[in-house]
Amino acid sequence: MGGDAGPVPPFFIVGSARSGTTLLRLLLNAHPEVAIPPESRFITEMWQDKPRVEVEPVLDALARHDRFRLWELPIEEVRAELDGRAAGRTAPYTEVMEAPYRAWARRRDKPLWGDKTPRYVENIPLLSRLWPRARFVHLVRDGRNVALSYADVAFGPKTLAKAAALWARRVRAGTEAGRALGPGRYLQMRYEDLVEAPERHARTLCGFLGLPFDPVVLDYVERGRDAVLPRAAANNPNVTKPLMAQTRSWERAMPEGQVEVFEALAGDVLSELGYPRRYAVPSGAATRRARLGRMGIPVDRLPASRAE
């Protein structure tokens, strides 16, 4: 199903929110062959379990979708991608969904498209069926930093328990889907590893995606920022900050008691990803606070100070 029969299939960057996916998008957008638009969400939100759809009603719905409007892409350019193949009749759902990505890439004179929608980490089984050759890059980050980072933005959970639960759920959704897909279609990367050894991991990433490595991706902040940084920075203040300063900011900015509670809530997932835990066995007090948090009692609100 879908139009991914070319030499380089489409790819999806997924993960928990606040895990560095915007920076990975910057890196890949700097590649001379790749264009990644803002987050979509509409692929899964508009899916109605119909492999073929009537084109015009879907395009009309797409034009009204709040996420697509952020692309600032005229729907006429999307329709033009379908001329001669699907416009005015039925077509595979994937063909219609690919059209806005192709139009976005065409505007930038790039041949390949990818997607960066973190929440699609919970939709990998569906997306992998729709695009049987698509590849998935699952970026993970230390959950303690993820929780702390939510204090920087207006959206998302505001208590430690909710942040830990959301992070753990999405990490596990990605890893479970990855086991089913296998290494040919799924790559898990740690944000911290990418920051500490960018060239090595950028080469791994390009190889996985079937792209030639280009050193220009290592200058992604400079070369990719013009296309995506202004809006990304509005939603993610950390995207313009020094990368190394962000890798272990929880050690400086998260209250010690909350570190222990987070590890009581999701320490097993930290260990599965190879992140060292500060507390092998949480105290009784931390365990009780974790239990109250799971019950929805806001006993541990995320710190108001910004992480560096």
The 3-class SS string of the chain reads CCCCCCCCCCEEEECCCCCCHHHHHHHHHCCCCEECCCCCCHHHHCCCCCCEEEHHHHHHHHHHCHHHHCCCCCHHHHHHHHCCCCCCCEEEHHHHHHHHHHHHHHHCCCCEEEEECHHHHHHHHHHHHHCCCCEEEEEECCHHHHHHHHHHCCCCCCEHHHHHHHHHHHHHHHHHHHHHHCCCCEEEEEHHHHHHCHHHHHHHHHHHHCCCCCHHHHHHHHHHHHHHHHHHHHHCHHHHCCCHHHCCCHHHHCCHHHHHHHHHHHHHHHHHCCCCCCCCCCCHHHHHHHHHHHCCCCCCECCCCCCC
Give residue for tokens 């560095």.
20
pLDDT higher than 80, residue 185: yes
Task: Return the CATH architecture of domain 10-31+112-308.
Answer: 3-Layer(aba) Sandwich (3.40)
Taking the CA of residue 122 as centre, how many other CA atoms within 13 Å lie in the half-sphere pointing to its CB?
Answer: 11
- Between these two residues, 163 and 230, which has the higher pLDDT value? 163
Give pLDDT, residue 298: 73
Q: pLDDT-based confidence at 281, cuts 50/70/90?
A: confident
The most confident of the ranges 24-28, 121-125, 227-231 is 121-125
Q: pLDDT-based confidence at 47, cuts 50/70/90?
A: very high
pLDDT in tens, 253-266: 888 888 988 999 99
% the chain with pLDDT above 70: 85
265 and 165 Cβ atoms separated by less than 8 Å: yes
d(CA 198, CA 186): 19
pLDDT higher than 50, residue 303: yes
Q: pLDDT-based confidence at 1, cuts 50/70/90?
A: very low
**Amino acid at position 42, single letter:** F
Give pLDDT, residue 243: 53
Please, what is the average pLDDT of the chain? 86
Q: pLDDT-based confidence at 222, cuts 50/70/90?
A: low
Q: pLDDT-based confidence at 305, cuts 50/70/90?
A: very low
pLDDT higher than 70, residue 221: no
Give pLDDT, residue 206: 97
Query: What is the mean predicted confidence (pLDDT) over 29-38?
Result: 96
pLDDT in tens, 67-101: 999 999 999 999 999 975 655 689 999 999 999 99
Query: What is the mean predicted confidence (pLDDT) over 270-293?
Result: 87
How far separated are the first and last CA of the chain, in Å rounded?
A: 44
Locate the domains of the chain by residue range: 10-31+112-308, 34-110
Give pLDDT, residue 308: 38
pLDDT in tens, 122-174: 999 999 999 999 999 999 999 999 998 887 777 778 888 889 999 999 999 99
Q: pLDDT-based confidence at 7, cuts 50/70/90?
A: low
Give pLDDT, residue 282: 84
Query: What is the mean predicted confidence (pLDDT) over 22-34?
Result: 94
Q: pLDDT-based confidence at 226, cuts 50/70/90?
A: very low
Q: pLDDT-based confidence at 2, cuts 50/70/90?
A: very low
Give pLDDT, residue 235: 52
Q: Comparing C-alpha atoms, which of 2, 25, 15 is closest to residue 128? A: 2
Query: What is the mean predicted confidence (pLDDT) over 33-56?
Result: 96
Give pLDDT, residue 48: 96
- How far CA 41 is from CA of 120, 189, 250, in Å, comes to 8, 22, 30
What's this model's pTM, rounded to 2 decimal places? Answer: 0.88
